[in-house]
Chain A
Amino acid sequence: MPGVEGFMYPNEVSLYWSVLIVLYPYITGLVAGAFILASLVRVFRVEAVGPTYRLALLTALAFLIVAPMPLQLHLGHPERSFEMYLTPHRTSAMAMFGFVYLWYLMAVLTVEIWLDYRGDIVMMSQTTRGWRRLLYRVLTLGSANVSERALHIDERVGWFITLIGVPSAILLHGYVGFIFGSIKANPWWSSPLMPVVFIFSAMVSGIAAVLLLYMAMMRLRREPIDMRCVDTIAQYMLYIFIIDFSLEMLDLIHRIYEADESFRSLDFMVHTKLWSSQVVLQICIGTLVPIVLVGLVQVTRLSSAVRKRIYAISGSLTLIGVLAMRWNVVIGGQLFSKSFLGYTTYKMGLATREGLLVSIALIILPLFILAALVKLLPPWPQKRQEAAAASAPAH
């Protein structure tokens, strides 16, 4: 059998979860991470990261819209996916996704963005023309009430929504980890640490994404980067990354020390098929290098130009490292036989439905959605000040 070493159960030779299922936890993780960053401002009162608050929310929304797409594309019968809402199976972690996703999209993210932008929406529904005016008018839900009292209510309710949003974001991604961590048949996945590791790596990737997006957008807009803001974001990224890495190492050490029936098989896999993606890419390049780089910034005095470069490099490496982590979990978990006697190979298609081109398109798509959202709901302070000047009783 080509690509097979040793013995696989005959049905195990081809992989059932493709690169699309790698993207799904990756994209969902970016959502959760970006939202946690936004909540730093609102709930934890970390004012330094204020300039990224709205951008983080819009980033979360853009990626959340794309999150179910890889799942849909991977399904044998996407037209039946609505059954998850019609007849959800209570014992299935996957069935709960539908509801957690919907809760997060409709009850948390959309409402928080709507409340935060309501003043702007009402203002824009009066100042714009054509289809945009129509769109904003629909978004006002027919209420132009932007009195001080109304906006104060929005502020309080928004704070409360964010408060609910933090556990929701953790739930959204923790459950993704549970989908894998609860599969007792697969020793590579089956671990109570899986949801926790997923949450922390999600936060790291989401924060890195917003950090990069913020710096890139400032550059595009030819505006100065708020260094206090990016320094603080990078600091949070570092701390959470250290927790994430510790948990992943704990999991690894635990596996090595316990050395249960699956150990020899998994150990061999990490040393061969997963060596470059796990040890080199995920652990060394994608984790240790960014931790050391951002760590260096904390203990030395570097110019802001150098710091910006460091943040750009470590942010990018972090995103690559977390993507590699998702790859190693999802694909790695299917490369070895559940008989622990052999290994198979994953062959990624190029232009197939579950191939490389579709994957690249799915990673880029959220950026386009984000660009559209930024156009519709500008997150920049200048616009907000203009808005404040235009509509008299703003915040």
Chain B
Amino acid sequence: MNITRRHLLILLPAAAVAWESVLAGTPEEAPNYKKTDHWWGMLIDIPKCIGCGNCVRACQAENDVPDGFFRTWVERYHVEDWNLANPEVISPDGGKEGFPSVAEDSNGKYFFVPKLCNHCADSPCTQVCPVGATFISPDGVVLVDQTYCMGCAYCVQACPYGCRYIHPQKRVADKCTLCYHRITKGLTTACCEACPTGARQLADLKNPKDPIHAFLKTHTVQVLKPQMATGAKVFYNALDGSVR
């Protein structure tokens, strides 16, 4: 049984990725991946998020995120009636283990907001890097060259969304890579893979066949803090005005 499964694996297209090199981490990209053919972003469907924390745990498992820091996290908003200016927000341990149950509030509403790097097209973080250690890749992903970063934390200060941190052991800037090591191999991100409800969808904005284009036609979407004019590429469906 094991042998046939293994043979099957070798024959299948997904296996064309060549598991050995994928797992060994050889510095080669997937054979057919062309950086200029993609422009990556994400769609987050707030009404679908159940606050299970799967994405946070998946991200930490996939990317060795240090304790107490988050490449992605989930916030729970509680907004009373029309009081958009004063939401009550919690994110215990980044929502990693979910959220405490709440009873119905006749006067307000609850909802979850998953957060991650917005992979801004006009990113304020890459703008301020003094040495060119963080950058927007040709396929629109904001990355950190951790062998070049000197750990000044200017980028951390410049991010309006709190998506960056200094890795306590590596002493360099760390952040969401949009699972660059996965999406360049035809896989989705760890958070999207682990999301049970499809609340998170990786989106290739350059690919006309990507389902995001049909979705955007029929839904009201917004980015976080649009007044910051960062060209954020993480789009939120049905984002409440209280979210910041």
Contacts and interface: CB of A to CB of B under 8 A. Distances in A.
B131 A84 contact: yes
B9 interface: no
Contact of A16 (B68, B157, B228, B244): B157
Contacts of B89: 7, 339, 341
B130 interface: yes
A197 to B, nearest CB: 18
Contacts of B156: 11, 16
Chief secondary structure at chain A's binding surface: loop
B105 to A, nearest CB: 18
B177 interface: no
Contacts of A183: 124, 128, 157-158
Contacts of B133: 83
B44 to A, nearest CB: 16
Nearest to A83: B131
A101 B32 CA distance: 47
B149 interface: yes
Contacts of A83: 130-133, 148, 150
B150 A7 contact: no
Nearest to A17: B153
Contacts of A12: 162
Nearest to A260: B227
A77 interface: yes
B91 interface: yes
Contact of A84 (B91, B94, B130): B130
A76 B73 CA distance: 25
A272 interface: no
Contacts of B159: 185
B231 interface: no
Interface stretch (A27-35, A91-99, A211-219, A244-252): A91-99
A89 B130 contact: yes
A235 interface: no
B195 to A, nearest CB: 19
B48 to A, nearest CB: 22
A17 B148 CA distance: 20
Contacts of A71: 152
Contacts of A275: none
B151 A75 contact: yes
A334 B88 CA distance: 21
Given A186-B157, A341-B87, A76 B130 contact: no
A94 to B, nearest CB: 4
Interface in B150-207: 150-154, 156-166, 170-172
B70 interface: yes
B225 to A, nearest CB: 9
Interface in B27-77: 68-70, 73, 75
Interface string A229-249: 000000000000000000000
Nearest to A342: B89
B94 A10 contact: yes
Interface string A315-338: 000000000000000000110011
B228 A185 contact: yes
A11 B188 CA distance: 25
A91 B127 contact: yes
Given A16-B157, A76-B172, A183-B157, A11 B164 contact: yes
A80 interface: yes
Contacts of A340: 244
Given A10-B94, A339-B89, A94 B130 contact: yes
Nearest to A81: B150
A13 B115 CA distance: 16
B172 A77 contact: yes
Contacts of A143: none
A375 interface: no
Nearest to B157: A183
Interface string B131-152: 1110000000000000011111
Interface string A1-38: 00000011111111011000000000000000000000
A14 B132 CA distance: 25
Nearest to A76: B151
B232 interface: no
Contact of A75 (B73, B87, B132, B152): B152
Contacts of B170: 76
Contacts of A76: 149-153, 166, 170-172
Given A185-B159, A339-B244, A10 B131 contact: no
Contacts of A81: 150
B70 A11 contact: yes
A184 B160 contact: yes
A94 B127 contact: no
B70 A10 contact: yes
Interface in A189-224: none
A77 B88 CA distance: 39
A381 interface: no
B129 interface: yes
Interface in B71-126: 73, 75, 87-91, 93-94, 115, 124
B91 to A, nearest CB: 6
Contacts of B160: 184-185, 338
Given A76-B153, A341-B244, 7 more contacts: A7-B90, A10-B70, A13-B68, A77-B172, A83-B148, A89-B132, A341-B87
19 contacts: A7-B88, A7-B91, A8-B162, A9-B161, A10-B93, A14-B68, A75-B152, A76-B171, A84-B130, A88-B130, A89-B132, A94-B128, A94-B154, A179-B154, A183-B128, A183-B158, A334-B157, A337-B162, A338-B160
